A = this chain, B = another copy of it.
Amino acid sequence: MPAGFFCVPKPYSAMPSNLKLVTRAHHPSDTIVEVGPVCVGSGEPVMIAGPCSVESREQIFVCAEHVSSAGAHVLRGGCFKPRTSPYAFQGLGYAGLELLRDAGAAYGLPTITEVMDAGDVDAVAEHVDILQIGSRNMQNFTLLRKVGQVQKPVLLKRGMMSSIDEWLAAAEYILAEGNSEVILCERGIRTFETSTRNTLDLSAVLVLRERTHLPVVVDPSHACGVRRWVPALTRAALAVGADGVMVEIHPSPDEALSDGAQSLTLAMFDELAADLRWTRPAA
């Protein structure tokens, strides 16, 4: 058979030479990121849930209550929001950070929030348990270096048009600074298809499993953009072997200040969590 045209995925030996600390060659066993009592990458899937934005004390507390009662593991809530428009809601900032910390503490849940600016990293790291780097900042190298210098787990979202190797190179920036507690998060890539907000690339979980020792979670909410599709994509993410999922929830999604269309109602979340418990190993 003559050689074909199609790209056949690179064998492991073709790993870009710029990747070192993130590779399986460097660190053959799986990295497990510990966040309080929660272990990401241990083989038991983890669920991270919460509102897109922290909007009020009442809102984040009722979300935390459901996250806890559903048996989920980490409470998310955005305080600094990267928004395409300068006129959109930009988050509650430091006030939101305190509400998130308090809600997590009240229900015994570790917390995660996005940090957008190197200047905020130290303060954010004092309030939450995991620092999230958003899609738009995946190649904000100043920010990557800064979170590499604190001793907190980092969840690094894939850029919406970043190749897997570019994503790993972004993680390499963090590890190169001394912080190896990195969780990768697939959240959909930009393609020509517009029926969904992005196209969830579940194959990436399989590719990453071979190339890196870092744990991988999946965000189905941003990938599809429509709440009624989130439960099935959550199941698919776990079926493909992700170390966890991150979903958005809201007490009244249609009134949310951001991303309401893709946020699960609390009832939908309870149902999804109950269903997953059936397929997960006992907690």
Please provide the chain A residues from 5 to 19 with a CB less than 8 Å away from any CB of chain B in the complex.
Answer: 5-10, 16-19
B85:A257 contact, CB within 8 angstroms: no
Residue from A5, A8, A117, A172 with most neighbouring chain B CB atoms (10 Å)? A5
Given contacts A192-B190, A195-B163, A225-B6, contact A85 B172 (CB under 8 A): yes
Residue A98 is within 8 A (CB to CB) of chain B in the complex: no
The yes or no answer to A24 lying at the interface (CB within 8 A) is: no
Judge whether A194 is part of the interface by a CB distance below 8 angstroms: yes
| A204 interface residue per 8 A CB criterion | yes
| Residues in A lying within 8 Å of B, measured CB to CB | 1-10, 16-20, 82-89, 116-119, 136-137, 139-142, 145, 159-161, 163-166, 169-170, 172-173, 176, 189-197, 199-207, 223-226, 229, 232-233, 235-241, 256-258, 260-261
- Copies of this chain present in the complex amount to 4
Chain B residues within 8 Å of A19, by CB: 85
Contact of A261 among B8, B17, B203 (CB under 8 A): B8
Q: How far is the CB of A162 from chain B (nearest CB, A)?
A: 8
Q: Are B233 and A18 in contact (CB under 8 A)?
A: no
Question: Smallest distance from the beta carbon of A191 to chain B beta carbons, Å?
Answer: 5
